[in-house]
Structure 1
Amino acid sequence: MQQLSSAPSHGASDHNHAAIARRPQFADRHIPMALAMLGLAQVLMWGIAAWLGYSSTELDSAEQLSWATGLELGYWKHPPMPSWIMHGALMLFKPSIVLPLVMVQTGIVIALGLTWRLAREILPPRQAALSVLITSLVLYHNAGADSFNHNTVLLPFQAAATLAFFLALRHSSLRWWLAAGLFGGLAMLVKYVAAIHFAGLLLYLLLDRSTHLRRNFVGMLLGALVFALVLSPHVYWLHANGYPPMQYAHSVMIPLTGPASAFASVGQFIETQVFRLVPLLPLLIYIVRQRRAAPAHDDVEMVVSRRDKLFVWVAGAAPLLVTIAFSLLSGSKLEARWGANAFLLTGMVAIVAIRPHLTAERLKNIMGVTLLAHVVLCAGLVAGKSVVAKHFDRRTRANFPAAELAQEAERTWRKHTNAPLRLVATDIWLGGNLRAAGLPGVAVLIDGDYTKSPWVTQEQVHACGMLILDDTISNGRAGVANPEQLHTLMDSAEAAGSMTLNWGSAKQERRTVHWAYLPPHDAAHCTQAG
């Protein structure tokens, strides 16, 4: 009898090896697409999380929804670029709770993409990709960026200016110098602290003598001219209005009272910034251990030129160091948020320092782990501000009943008139949430102050009428305490009352918002603000 063998035939074995050989392998050419897919996933993930978990928008996002009513050359606290961007977005989409968060994450992804482009000028493809993954895990670039504000909007402009500056120097390109001036000017129109980052770039220029070429100096002059032209309308506005952003910045700065105060301020600031790096520490530990364990043939040894190392170290470290120096020289206490724009080159600094060996398969696995980390960070933040906060009877900016507020405001207005509700006087948080959660067409007279809201005039208030809302809870109001202009408007109102919102549990005092009604006098010819 013929004995049957269970061993596979050589033909079957060859077929299996051929199938494995045909299996698509992750290669360097797949890196850009993989990074793009990770970026898209980040935007979608935060949008879905906000849609599922948030019932109101964050404070800074509400502020931009309020400011974006009018296109101004400047606003009382800050330069105008974020509000211009929000204004453009609102021409395409209705105000919503989700929109600001999607815009934030889109800007961060763009910034990371530009940082990837810069990293490719200095690092091999895999190490460049790894540097972006590391940078994406800085808390300022994920869970710490759930508000559309001047810090988050600055990131893509800062990245674009850095990339243009680097390419201008490396190629002595007048075209890139013009681009550096353009993006530098736009970055300053986002927030003046962009100058701190530019100080680091200029320091590198001074240190790298190989860049001291006549063509580069000519290019710098042209870039400076573009920079000045971009800023000139805003500078004119500053001069014409008495420099309100500078006055605001001066009013909120906390003075240092001596050496001990300065030492404590710097220590607390550094401690906070280190905490912002915690999510990327496991990845750094992993690549350090792999670097020590990897055989020499695991990957080609990474080589970075001396001038490129100098750029990475100086441009990467300068923003944080210059911020600390500014605080000490100006005698102002360091605020934690001042570090929000200091970490775009964190991943590049880490890669230049560690010089990791990296196979394509290992990079693919790190991408998967990084995506998982982003999911955990997003879910943790959103759940903490919504589901977990509700369970423990905590009020947060994310679980405020904005839709209920909008419905109550509309119902109160309709009790007195059939004219459309066009104008509301209140603080920026209530005003922004009204626009995001049911009243997209209203314009906000912030704190009842016409200087803070030039898109609203007294003539419009007389014609259209106005609903005034005063959030009296001292620890929840966004803006100055007891705003005199708002109280003056309330005192002149035809009717007044209060609304109680279902915010918190039965164990807590319900949120009370006082309202007052100014009637329209020419509703048929009412011109909508903005």
Structure 2
Amino acid sequence: MQLRLDRTSVGPRPKDHKHLLPEIILPKNSSPLRAHGTPVIADRLGAGQTLVLVLAAYFIIHVIVRFVLPHGLELDEAEQVNLSQWLLAGYGAQPPFYNWLQHGAIQIFGMSLVTLSGLKGLLLFLSYMLYYLAARQVLEDKRLAVVAALGLLTIPQISFEAQRDLSHTVAAIFGSSFFLYALLRVVSRPSFVAFLLFGIATGIGGITKYNFAILPIAAGLAVLMDRDMRRTVLSWKLLPAAMLAAAIVTPHALWLLDNFKDASQGTLKKLGGEDAGLLGGIAQGLGSLTVGFFSFFGITIIIFALVYREHLKAVIKANSRWTLFVGRILILSLVLIVLMILFAGFENVRDRWLTPVLLAGPLYIALKVDAAKIPLAVGLKRIWTVAAIIMVIIPAALATRSNLGRFTGNYAYTNIPFPMLAKTVAEKAAGANTLIVASDGQLGGNMHFNLPNLPVTVTPPPLTIESRPLDGFNRIVFVWRRKDGSPPPGFGEVFADYLRENGIDTLPQDTAIVGYPYAWGRPADQYRFAYAVMDLKR
């Protein structure tokens, strides 16, 4: 800012006092408010570079925390490790995108907690970045894109549950964020490259989680409801985009056609709930949808209402072309779920299942704020304060979970002493070509994690995956347990069918029940496993 005296003010013009005042010359694209520093702070808090650096540091901290915690694997972690032994077009009840990424990461970087948590952290970081870029496509004030991205932290299923132990939902968060970015880029800047990105995003989303399909269907209907958008999207460029999406989805789609019954039974069972009759089932389904909606999005609504409390009426009333479009996507997505409840018998809609459907919620709120044309500095300060609190609480909560057992006696999966069992199994497997047979997926995944050079199979095997044949092995080490840590049942109760299927009519002689102290637990508290060793006659 410069100060300059107007020379014309010097002279006999006593009645025109304003010419005696210094003229304020502001920098280009500036406003007088910048003299007080408020917009400067807003610019810094709304800068993409700030968001990138903070989120990168945040997810690196999560990787460090996971490495420091005990090395027992959570359910999804163990499943991913177990299934990483194969590269297949399909693995069971979930699409294979995350499995493919996990397989590749382990092949490149080796088996470690850094590999497992690093992949998850990278996907979540990219999800936030894509969401930020999606918001920038349609927000007039680009600083609000940071508000939209930080809004994801206010959703427990994304900020906490995804970090605690989720895999396919993490993939769905990534796929949905990528899809929103590509969709809004196509609608706002319909270049050929934008359409190709749209095809790639749709294809990837389709192999992240099956309920992702609701999002592009709702988005397509929302586009058709807007004349200008309809003209933009219904272009010849949509054909190569559709071909790209089909190329990505086809390998798994062909597998799904051959394995639909096995792949769908688990999901349909979860969504179907109990047989409560027609009206009872509809009431139960609508009730679960309502509970799921507020469980997923309720905290976000409350936080944003507090952040913009002085301008809440203006934000609620404000509308624009983009609020209407994103709002239609959200409403149509919910309508599609209601139709599933009414006509497909869905009775149990869980909050986590709504992730692709409601992910656009924070973006919708940011668009409403943008349309209201309210001052941004206070809101940016408040949302960053909320985000900072969340970024401290969540890693601390994850670390605390593994420490509570020594006080309460209620231990987390990470505390289970899988690594100590693996040492015993390694001793029993030494000197022979050994196959490990585990009684459940979490146990099998932990064995493969700790003994990555030994093949592991689970009985019964995961859906659509066959047990490993015994050809070429001359020793089997069986491992089993009760999930509550109490003494496991006898060998025959767990593996009798497996032995019969492989034509074995003898029982192993080397059988034992062993107990090990929990990691980070009280010395007297022990978790019990059983193992048995069988040498095969060749």
Q: Bin the TM-score by the shorter chain.
A: 0.7 to 0.9
> Counterpart of 2:88 in 1: which secondary structure?
coil
Which residue of the partner structure matches residue 182 of structure 2? Answer: 164
> Counterpart of 2:513 in 1: which secondary structure?
strand
User: Which among 247, 262, 272 is matched to residue 229 of structure 1?
Assistant: 247
Deviations along 1:65-124, whole A, 9 cap, x unmatched? 110111101112222211110011102333234543332232122111111111112221
Choose 229-238 or 190-199, whichever is displaced more.
229-238
Residue 285 of structure 1 pairs with residue 305 of structure 2: yes
Residue 449 of structure 1 pairs with residue 464 of structure 2: no
User: Which among 126, 131, 152 is matched to residue 135 of structure 1?
Assistant: 152
| One-letter amino acid matched to 1:497 | A
> Counterpart of 1:218 in 2: which secondary structure?
coil
How far residue 379 of structure 1 moved from its aligned partner, in angstroms, is: 1.3
Superposed CA RMSD in Å reads 3.5
Choose 147-156 or 31-40, whichever is displaced more.
147-156
How far residue 231 of structure 1 moved from its aligned partner, in angstroms, is: 1.8
Deviations along 1:145-176, whole A, 9 cap, x unmatched? 12242111121122112221222233333332
Rounded to whole Å, the distance in 2 between the matches of 1:447 and 1:393 is 30
Alignment map for 1:106-505 (pairs within 5 Å):
106-123=122-139, 124-145=141-162, 146-213=164-231, 216-241=234-259, 243-252=261-270, 253-258=272-277, 259-277=279-297, 279-280=299-300, 283-291=303-311, 306-336=320-350, 337-354=352-369, 355=372, 357-360=374-377, 363-364=380-381, 366-383=383-400, 385-414=401-430, 418-419=431-432, 421=434, 423-436=436-449, 438-449=450-461, 452-454=464-466, 457-460=468-471, 462-463=472-473, 465-473=475-483, 485-486=497-498, 488=500, 492-495=506-509, 496-503=511-518
Report the count of equivalent residues.
486
Rounded to whole Å, the distance in 2 between the matches of 1:340 and 1:221 is 28
Rounded to whole Å, the distance in 2 between the matches of 1:389 and 1:342 is 36
> Counterpart of 2:89 in 1: which secondary structure?
coil
| One-letter amino acid matched to 1:458 | P
Contiguous gaps of at least 5 residues in structure 2: 1-34
Deviations along 1:498-523, whole A, 9 cap, x unmatched? 32232476887x4332222243678x
| One-letter amino acid matched to 2:136 | R
- Report the CA distance shift for 1:402/1:25 in structure 2 as closer, same or farther (over 3 A): farther
Contact 1:135–1:343 (8 Å) recurs in 2: no
Choose 486-495 or 496-505, whichever is displaced more.
486-495
Deviations along 1:283-342, whole A, 9 cap, x unmatched? 313322242699xxxxxx999873312221122344444334323321122242312333
Contact 1:56–1:401 (8 Å) recurs in 2: yes
Rounded to whole Å, the distance in 1 between the matches of 2:429 and 2:88 is 29
| One-letter amino acid matched to 2:448 | R
Deviations along 1:259-283, whole A, 9 cap, x unmatched? 2343234324422442344554553
- Report the CA distance shift for 1:357/1:302 in structure 2 as closer, same or farther (over 3 A): farther
Contiguous gaps of at least 5 residues in structure 1: 1-19, 295-300, 523-530
Deviations along 1:334-375, whole A, 9 cap, x unmatched? 242312333321212222345473444752553244122221
Choose 493-502 or 181-190, whichever is displaced more.
493-502
| One-letter amino acid matched to 2:355 | A
Report the TM-score when normalising by structure 2: 0.80
Residue 53 of structure 1 pairs with residue 69 of structure 2: yes
Rounded to whole Å, the distance in 2 between the matches of 1:225 and 1:325 is 29
Rounded to whole Å, the distance in 2 between the matches of 1:365 and 1:249 is 40
Rounded to whole Å, the distance in 1 between the matches of 2:420 and 2:470 is 30
> Counterpart of 1:342 in 2: which secondary structure?
helix
Rounded to whole Å, the distance in 1 between the matches of 2:334 and 2:474 is 49
How far residue 390 of structure 1 moved from its aligned partner, in angstroms, is: 3.0
- Report the CA distance shift for 1:73/1:357 in structure 2 as closer, same or farther (over 3 A): same
> Counterpart of 1:142 in 2: which secondary structure?
helix
Between the aligned residues of both structures, percent identity stands at 20
